[in-house]
Amino acid sequence: MRPFTTLSVVAWLGGFHVLPVNAIQTISAVGSKFFYEDGTQYFLKGIAYQLTPQDPLIDTAQCKRDISRMAELGTNAIRVYHVDPKANHDGCMEALAAAGIYLFVDLDTFDTSIRQVNPQWTHSQFDRYKAVLDEFQKYNNTAGVFVGNEVINTREGSVAAPYVLAAAHDIKSYRNEKNYRNIPVGYSAADIAELRPMLQNYLACRPDSADRLDFFSLNAYEWCGPSSYETSGYKKLQTDASNYPIPIFFSETGCNVARPRTFEDQAAIFGPEMSNTWSGSMVYEWIQEANDYGLINYGPLPGVPAAKMLVQDGFTRQGEPIPVAPDFHNLKAQWATLRPTGVALSDYIKSTSTVKPASCPASTPGGWVVDPNRPLPTLVQKYHRAASDATAISGPGSGSHPGYHSARVTSVAPPNYHTYSAVNGVSVSSSGMKDFDRLAGASLFLCMSIGALALWL
């Protein structure tokens, strides 16, 4: 594989914009990390939030009650597994943004998810995925979308991997064709030890970024009770993720085999052992249910009869959020002490020339059975924004995609990335960008966007 090569820096003048009340920086994936628009690195301190099976982001009043507790906890991200793309999400999304909380949302539904047995990727599935993206791309605090959750959950399931990648390819192509913001597209994997390293690399190994995920995440429950980085299995996870070329994080964690949960794994994830590789974690889950993973229960609301409270599957899903003790407080105490600084985008950019795609795993009878050079079962051709940069791609597998358009792919920095030395100490000369002064006290600001660097040929 050829390493990333710097191709160009392109700037767009964004013009004047009115700052809404819930203005929040967008999140972008650059290389192996997430960044805010101001160039500081973003680490997830997240919670799985599926308050109701259909859509937890339509009851604004309940969102606000929950968000108040989330803010107390130190949350800056939530994951939602199922939403109704036809519903109005403005209230909940604005309340999340006001609290500095970002959304990672799954695009599939119970009946449109990719299956491990007899997998397929169809136009009806694609239409549903597009509908969710259409709805949530308009919110600045939509930080990422998942094209699947634990599609592969047994060691025999690797045959479904090309369909996951095809969904990611088509959603990214649709995103670009619609000229949406570059919302990162990723996958949430089950922790299947026999397949994890191969799947992880397969989803990030193709020479064209249009054929790769923008991020990879893992549902891992290996750290249970008192343990350590070495004995829990996290050291192996870190070894397998070392030098991974796209952002990687825990999309579920928080083993409850040993009670109470103390969340000691968070110190490893956000500490020196892992924070240079991993971008944080999502703790499972917000509401207490039969599986006993909840961080809160719901109490009554003043003046609301108990008979009018929302109850599903025997659990109240509306009301005043009451922390589950001591789990809620244990997580709060952990996160309060964990503040990784990460790397400034201006410094990280200098090292991207050393990053290269993952090594594609070879097919192995009885194990990983996917040929990485076979065409993906996609529904659309590649769509690249940087059409003027079109060029031939050389490298493994470059000739194996009949009908595809090859193009030079660039990595894009956060769209409003500025170099405010008073904020993050970045100098103009080191980043190659012109500095703009903020319009203090005004509701307008001059937005400067930069397109950054080429990643790989």
Catalytic center residues: 150, 252
Q: Which of 323, 329, 269 is nearest to 45 (CA)?
A: 269
Strands 33-36 and 320-323: unpaired
How many Cβ atoms from other residues are within 10 Å of residue 366's Cβ? 7
Pairing of strands 444-451, 10-18: antiparallel
Q: If DSSP codes are grouped into helix, strand and coil, which group holds residue 104?
A: strand
Extract the tokens encoding 232: 């829990």
SS3 at position 161: helix
Asked whether 271 and 338 are in contact (CB, 8 A), the reply is yes
Q: How far is it, in rounded angstroms, from Cα 105 to Cα 66?
A: 18
Our CA angle for 1, 218, 161, nearest 5°, is 55
Residue 411 near residue 6, CB atoms below 8 Å: no
Number of continuous H segments (helices) and E segments (strands) in the chain: 11, 16
Question: Exposed, middle or buried by CB within 10 Å (0-12, 13-18, 19+), for 166?
Answer: buried
Alpha helices by DSSP H, 191-339: 196-202, 234-241, 265-269, 327-337
- Per-residue tokens: 166: 């095809």
Structure tokens at 362: 């070879």
* Strands (DSSP E) found in 285-363: 296-299, 311-312, 315-316, 320-323
